[in-house]
Amino acid sequence: MIYAMLNLSDHIAKSIIQKLADSADIRINGNRPWDIQVKDERCYKRILYHQSLGLGESYMDRWFECERLDEFIIHILRARIEKNIREGWRKPFFSFQEILVGLKSLTRAFRVGEAHYDMGNEFFEKMLDRRMTYTCGYWKNAKILDDAQEAKLELVCKKLGIQPGMKVLDIGCGWGSFARYAAERYDVEVVGITVSKEQADLAKQLCKGLSVEIRLQDYRDLKGSFDRVVSLGMFEHVCHLNYRSYMKVVHQNLKKHGLFLLHTIGNNGETAGIDSWISKYIFPNSMLPYITHIGRAIDGLFIMEDWHNFGSDYDKTLMAWHHNFEASKDLWIEKHGDRFYRMWKYFLLICAGTFRARELQLWQIVLSKDGVPGGYPSFR
């Protein structure tokens, strides 16, 4: 039913939302943690007309409240509400629309850095672990965020078979957490690239004295020769139209017998697009790959040696980030205002619930350029 095309009355809009909520076992003005309390009845039309964008903006503007947004979104996802409205409900984190060819441009690649990562290092220093690792942790034997992130970095090094003296490329190096870890623990030389000036400046400080070079550079400008290539949480910012080009760049920069580890959020279906709320407020031009996207992109370039899914660990990581974020709540409201605070709270909790519902995955994929002699030894 295409509600957005109808000139609905307030009463009808409310009735439709009520029925959708009932189907998901969500009570409007109920007292359970996942129920919502409506503060402004304009939210009914806003959500129907604008789907995920309307939902997120209604929360940011205090048009509704919910004690447990993470559980709220799980109820929506499990009820498959997307069957009843045009778009956006199955994945409020990433409700896909068709993406434009224009997203291939180099200029747009730097927009992510400017809009998200360049907002200030203090924010991320307080929200993330001590190494400032802005990707999913590995919680197999960890109980706290710092340990989960170090376990992830160690897992990556083991999967890549990193040895002293190797030269490693880190595409999307963030604040240099992997580069610093690998240089300190494995005595390797690392080149890290990022499209965020704020990230690059701090990464250079954090990696000072180590065999680490941090560059403000787009991956398409890479020209080098590396024993290993790693990319942690950057592929989500690559347009699907660029997947093949991305893999060709990695292939060209990787030495014979080299290994490439791709760490990325993964989608359950083959769609291409961008979520309206995520694009507007968090990650402009982002999208998620599906298995077939990656398969087509590596065809004839790489051999898939290992594919590891630990998506449920992203739920724990996001909840840990949310805990840290809430600890500085007053600071964020003072510096950026209540709407900024609610935007990030919504983002972190909605994402956590989406991973908990297993609607999104976290993949670590190990690719070889020409096969590992005798076979690849998997690490978990």
pTM: 0.90
- Does 239 qualify as catalytic in the annotation? no
User: What sign has the CA pseudo-torsion 351, 355, 359, 360?
Assistant: positive
Answer for the pair 334, 272: CB distance below 8 angstroms, yes or no.
Answer: no
Residue scoring higher pLDDT (126 or 103)? 126
**How far from chain centre, in Å, is Cα 9?**
37
Each residue's pLDDT tens digit, 2-58 = 444 457 788 899 999 999 999 999 999 999 999 999 999 999 999 999 989 999 999
Closest CA to 70 of 33, 44, 39, 96: 33
Residue of 66, 173, 207, 351 marked catalytic: 351
* pLDDT score recorded for residue 92: 40
* pLDDT above 50: residue 137: yes
* pLDDT score recorded for residue 89: 40
Residue with tokens 């999307």: 172
Q: Residue 263 forms beta bridges with which residues?
A: 232, 364
The rounded radius of gyration (Å) of the Cα atoms in the chain is 21
> Which pair of tokens denotes residue 153?
């970095």
Each residue's pLDDT tens digit, 350-371 = 999 999 999 999 999 999 999 9
Answer for the pair 158, 150: CB distance below 8 angstroms, yes or no.
Answer: no
* pLDDT score recorded for residue 94: 36
Each residue's pLDDT tens digit, 60-113 = 999 999 999 999 999 999 998 765 554 444 444 334 333 333 334 555 555 544
**How far from chain centre, in Å, is Cα 380?**
22
